[in-house]
């Protein structure tokens, strides 16, 4: 969260964000977030990183980048960036390949800079590193007539199909299968680009949803462990056929207080958990009902306070990108 800035309120941001914050975004674009909220979020991130280290996980951190600098391309300009707090949004890991995402928010165009040293190190240690085509994000390539209430019914999203765009967080992998959603930041060309580049060893599936402001799959659809799937009851109405043999459960209502300020997400980011392994899951400390669900599944919850991080659009899954796991690549279907 160091150096984080409020993003500009453009059409792509508007499609994904709560309208109640429009005035705040417009007045503060390119400026620091409220200092106390940012400070508390940073403390929670440090606590989580220390916990993972104690569990034997090797934790690496991005460089600090000042996002409060304006920048431009020949097609547009923006008063600043966003942050380097959510690597899951930026980086898609498939086997020994790491893919940079061509993000639809202009404020995130150079967010990858904070990860350059880490990516270079991964490459030097034998990994494969590719970047999707850098999008132009031209003004006319956003649909200003999209239906902000029912994109899943009308088929209209703010991102059109002139060029591939996707956030890596609109994809989630189970072994040899990758599940994706069409959203306001991920278009069909983006999904097709990923499917064509991951090779024959993996298969990409598209998940139907009823999210009115879709952005990132992991607060709607979360494979937990082999044979276990967690779904958002308000966004996934029909269990995908491929999961009919799995134990599928619907997440309980989030327990976040109604007056807790969330700048960039809904309370359903409570589903955004992190699996340490098949038997242990990191859960926000206030989500006691969700912890009970995991316990009934035979999975040990590891509670960590994270409500200040949640203000900024993500939780444990978003703030991590696991680049190396022990085990064997399997197919679960």
Query: Cα 44 to the chain's mean position, in Å?
Result: 18
CA 203 to CA 35: how far, in whole Å? Answer: 43
Annotated active-site residue 16? The verdict is no
Work out the burial of residue 124: count CB atoms within 10 Å of its CB; fewer than 13 is exposed, 13-18 middle, 19 or more buried. exposed
List 16, 174, 315, 318, catalytic entry: 318
* Of 255, 257, 260, 269, the residue nearest 313 (C-alpha): 269
List 184, 209, 216, 317, catalytic entry: 216
Annotated active-site residue 318? The verdict is yes
Q: From the DSSP assignment, how many helices (H) and strands (E) are in the chain?
A: 9, 14
The answer to whether 84 and 62 are in contact (CB under 8 A) is yes
Annotated active-site residue 177? The verdict is no
Contacts of 66 (CB under 8 A, 6+ apart): 3
List 167, 170, 211, 218, catalytic entry: 167
Report residue 210: phi and psi, to 5°.
-125, 40
Q: How many other CB atoms sit within 10 Å of the CB of residue 233?
A: 13
CA 253 to CA 270: how far, in whole Å? Answer: 9
Contacts of 285 (CB under 8 A, 6+ apart): 303, 304, 305, 306
Work out the burial of residue 54: count CB atoms within 10 Å of its CB; fewer than 13 is exposed, 13-18 middle, 19 or more buried. exposed
Q: Which residues are catalytic?
A: 167, 216, 318
């Amino acid at each position: 969260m160091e150096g984080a800035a409020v993003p500009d309120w453009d059409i792509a941001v508007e499609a994904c964000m709560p309208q109640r914050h429009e005035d705040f975004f417009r007045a503060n674009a390119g400026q620091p977030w409220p200092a106390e909220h940012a400070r508390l979020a940073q403390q929670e991130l440090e606590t989580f990183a220390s916990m993972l280290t104690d569990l034997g996980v090797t934790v690496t951190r991005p460089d600090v980048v000042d996002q409060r600098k304006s920048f431009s391309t020949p097609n547009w300009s923006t008063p600043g960036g966003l942050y380097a707090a959510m690597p899951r949004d930026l980086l898609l890991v498939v086997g020994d390949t790491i893919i940079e995402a061509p993000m639809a928010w202009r404020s995130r165009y150079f967010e990858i800079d904070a990860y350059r040293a880490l990516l270079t190190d991964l490459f030097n240690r034998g990994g494969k590193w590719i970047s999707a085509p850098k999008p132009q994000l031209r003004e006319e390539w956003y649909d200003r007539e999209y239906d902000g209430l029912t994109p899943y019914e009308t088929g209209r999203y703010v991102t059109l199909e002139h060029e591939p765009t996707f956030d890596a967080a609109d994809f989630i992998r189970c072994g040899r299968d990758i599940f994706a959603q069409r959203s306001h930041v991920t278009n069909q060309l983006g999904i097709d680009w990923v499917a064509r580049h991951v090779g024959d060893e993996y298969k990409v599936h598209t998940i139907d949803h009823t999210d009115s402001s879709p952005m990132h799959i992991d607060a709607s659809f979360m494979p937990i462990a082999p044979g276990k799937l967690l779904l958002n009851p308000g966004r996934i109405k029909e269990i995908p056929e491929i999961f009919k043999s799995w134990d599928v459960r619907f997440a309980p209502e989030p327990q976040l207080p109604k007056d807790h300020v969330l700048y960039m997400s809904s309370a359903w980011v409570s589903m955004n958990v992190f699996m340490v392994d098949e038997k242990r899951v990191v859960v926000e400390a206030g989500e006691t009902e969700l912890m009970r669900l995991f316990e009934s599944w035979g999975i040990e919850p590891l509670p960590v306070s994270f409500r200040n991080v949640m203000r900024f659009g993500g939780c444990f899954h978003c703030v991590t990108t696991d680049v190396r796991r022990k085990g064997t690549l399997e197919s679960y279907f």
